[in-house]
Amino acid sequence: MSATLAPQTSAAATAPAQTFDIRPFVGPLGAEVIGLDLSRPVNTDDFRRIHQAHLDHHVLVFRDQASLTPDQHVAFSGRFGPLQIHVLNTFALPGHPEVLIVSNILENGKPIGLGDAGVFWHSDLSYKEKPSLGSLLHAHELPSEGGDTLFANQHLAWDTLSAELKKTIAPLKAEHHYLARYAELQARSPWRPNLSPEQVAQVKPVAQPVVRTHPETGRKGLFVSEHFTTRILGVPEDESRALLAELFAHSVQPQFQYRHQWQPHDLVFWDNRSVLHLAAGTPDHLRRKLYRVTIEGDVAY
């Protein structure tokens, strides 16, 4: 299976190789990339190595990306596929509609970014017909404590289900809806503006497979989340609720998790087809600001 990646630019074809290491973490997912500077052109062979490592480890942590500009962040992300624009476009970085500001900072009493992004486990944009392939989150300002991001490996979640439960859920579809918990979030924080009718129209509920096949590796993974999955289709409401509660609890057990403790200038690139993630929380008085770019993936099957 091969990815449909964006065509190489001439800079990528001729750029000198960079010397870098990919060091897998001990645990269920993740690897650190040391020595690669994403603000310099990444040549074709180096890019292939990164692409393969992303498929193998699901979360890549690129250290020390201090020089990376938003334009370069967008350009590197765009080599994996078309980019998605978040429905909360008020939190886009000015001049960069593809960059969502994830931040708890208030300026003149107003939020500069989405402060509660990721407070429930989810896969980015699973509520779109074409959910996200991956997301690249770049640290610009980090708190002195807290602010971690947790990832849970959904291939392991699937692999460890009982044969009976696998058989039950394999053919099922579930509804995913951006607005599933929007009112709840709106009630507890300043980060969720009222949506216009045009914004609501962009995030209609969609049906997704409960178990999806990764389009590049062929591996199966669970594809439900406490944030966006509202119900299993075609089963009675009480059964749907019970089944989802069981799957949510199973999918994020500690043995499937990697906890990312951010270091200055990290850029973390995760595979939304393989992992769920959660923002573990930042104390209100500490500032946190990151830029997120999201790549469109395939229709899930």
Q: Which is nearer to ligand SIN, 128 or 277 (CB)?
A: 277
Smallest separation, CB 20 to ligand SIN (Å):
24
Q: Which residue of the chain is nearest ligand SIN when measured via CB?
A: 118
Smallest separation, CB 117 to ligand SIN (Å):
4
Phi–psi pair at 221, nearest 5 degrees: -150, 155
Catalytically annotated residues: 122, 124, 277, 292
Q: Which is nearer to ligand SIN, 105 or 235 (CB)?
A: 105
Smallest separation, CB 141 to ligand SIN (Å):
12
Cα separation, 146 vs 128, in Å, equals 30
Q: Which is nearer to ligand SIN, 138 or 214 (CB)?
A: 138
292, 136 Cβ separation under 8 angstroms: yes
Phi–psi pair at 263, nearest 5 degrees: -110, 155
Residues binding ligand SIN (CB under 6 A): 102, 117-118, 135, 137, 149, 277, 279, 290, 292
Smallest separation, CB 258 to ligand SIN (Å):
13
